[in-house]
Amino acid sequence: MSSDPFPFSEDITREMLDWTAMRIADGPDPTHGAQAFAALETVLGGSITEDGLGAQRAFELFTDTIVPATRPFGHPTSLSFVAAAPSRAALSFDAALGAAGIFAGNWDGGAGAIHAENQALRWLADLAGWPDSAGGVFVAGGTLGNLSALHAAREWHSRQHNTHARRAILCSSEAHSSIAAVARVMDAELITVPADDTGRMSADAAREALAGNVFAIVANGGATNCGAVDDIGGLAEIADEHGLWLHVDGAYGGAALADPEMRPAFDGIERADSLIVDPHKWLFAPYDSCALIYRDAGHGAAAHGQKAVYLDTVDKTHWNPSDYALHLTRRARGLPLWFSLATHGSRAYSSAIARTREIAAEVAEGIDGLDGLTRLLGPQLTVILFRPDGMSEEDMIGWAEVHRRSGALLCLPTRWRGEMVFRLCFVNPQTNPAQVLGVLNTLCS
């Protein structure tokens, strides 16, 4: 037997696992953040050498330089973009999953993992009210989920209508930027429907904008900038009438399907054709995962299944996740969600999502009570838009920067109807509303 080209001691593995356990217990440090290229290069420059630095030194670079130069989106004070709030169960499991080295592209490579991932997908499909034909796959993120769903939509439409002529996607002016990116990749036209004052696309507005070349409608199941959920039922009606595919982008907001109080906002989703929900957003899973589900999984497979002589041995009678999106090799990235759900139960999920909404409501009420702040919108799901009266754009940016750097709060400006405003988006049930309001109070002095 030839010697191991990569010797590595078990002691070092244990040291790395000790660090992992500590990191999961302590959570991320909110004062961490991006550093300039030059500062990083001073320490990391030359780390790839012919003879290697040794594991101890390389891992030290990770813990002492690389991690501190990353933004801690998983911290409860992180309220910009759509942050993350992975449960300790999901994070711990993800470390174990990495060690298991599972190929989850096809059943032969990952049967057990795929079976469990499919249970997590089924949980979501049940929340949407979808039949047994539903199924899909976990992909890396919402962008890839939207692309895979919309490619399946166009293929389905072409088969259905025996034409390749229809090349437009209809979506709200509040649709996530990934929809425009997907349209560019697919060389499809994008028809954007003006959203109403709350950022919601109504069925009437969609009907008015509908053109003859549309093959799919994208409904927001929680718009990123304002939290709006479109009129999914009304859009399903239009899709039915015109033989179109209805895709729901619930990358952020789809998690709220698990909150019985919010479920009615999604009425009509049972008639949609595809749905994405990112567990790394509001379903307490680590990066990176997007649950992509088709109401009829066969439409996904018809669009994405790859064929080649070297794939002929793949058993087509089983569930092969590679068939349901634009990918082949994949890790079982849906398993941390499965593990956390299996550990804590779906009731804990419903409660955590409902608690996050309560936190948003408490902060909204608090904003109303602060002189000098005007709440413009929300909470819609868990997004709030507000404005500090009379503050210049430059001062708003400066204020956000000070509190980001100190680790007190990540609250960045966005724009609403052209005006710079602050946006808060809650996905963490451990965010402390009083602490958030304490920081917002500094806008009033």
- Which strands sit side by side in the sheet containing 214-220, from one edge to the other? 135-139, 290-294, 274-277, 245-249, 214-220, 168-172, 189-193
* Shortest reach from residue 201's CB to ligand PLP, in Å: 13
CB atoms within 10 A of CB 26: 8
* Shortest reach from residue 278's CB to ligand PLP, in Å: 5
Cβ proximity to ligand PLP: between 92 and 289 the closer is 289
Cβ proximity to ligand PLP: between 154 and 333 the closer is 333
* Shortest reach from residue 364's CB to ligand PLP, in Å: 20
Residues in the chain: 445
Closest among 122, 409, 147 to 300, alpha carbons compared: 147
Cβ proximity to ligand PLP: between 218 and 373 the closer is 218
Cβ proximity to ligand PLP: between 82 and 363 the closer is 82
Cβ proximity to ligand PLP: between 142 and 234 the closer is 142
Cβ proximity to ligand PLP: between 276 and 436 the closer is 276
Q: Under a CB-based contact definition with an 8 Å cutoff, are residues 300 and 148 in contact?
A: yes
* Shortest reach from residue 120's CB to ligand PLP, in Å: 17
Cβ proximity to ligand PLP: between 218 and 314 the closer is 218
Half-sphere exposure of 98 (CA within 13 A, CB side): 11
Structure tokens at 84: 């993350």
* Shortest reach from residue 443's CB to ligand PLP, in Å: 25
Cβ proximity to ligand PLP: between 182 and 244 the closer is 182
Q: Under a CB-based contact definition with an 8 Å cutoff, are residues 234 and 201 in contact?
A: no
CA distance 403 to 36: 19
Nearest residue to ligand PLP, scored by beta-carbon proximity: 142
Closest among 216, 348, 195, 224 to 274, alpha carbons compared: 216
Positions touching ligand PLP (CB under 6 A) are: 82, 141-143, 176, 178, 224, 249, 251-252, 278, 290
* Shortest reach from residue 222's CB to ligand PLP, in Å: 6
Cβ proximity to ligand PLP: between 109 and 141 the closer is 141
* Shortest reach from residue 223's CB to ligand PLP, in Å: 6
* Shortest reach from residue 303's CB to ligand PLP, in Å: 19
Cβ proximity to ligand PLP: between 106 and 146 the closer is 146
* Shortest reach from residue 145's CB to ligand PLP, in Å: 7
* Shortest reach from residue 268's CB to ligand PLP, in Å: 18
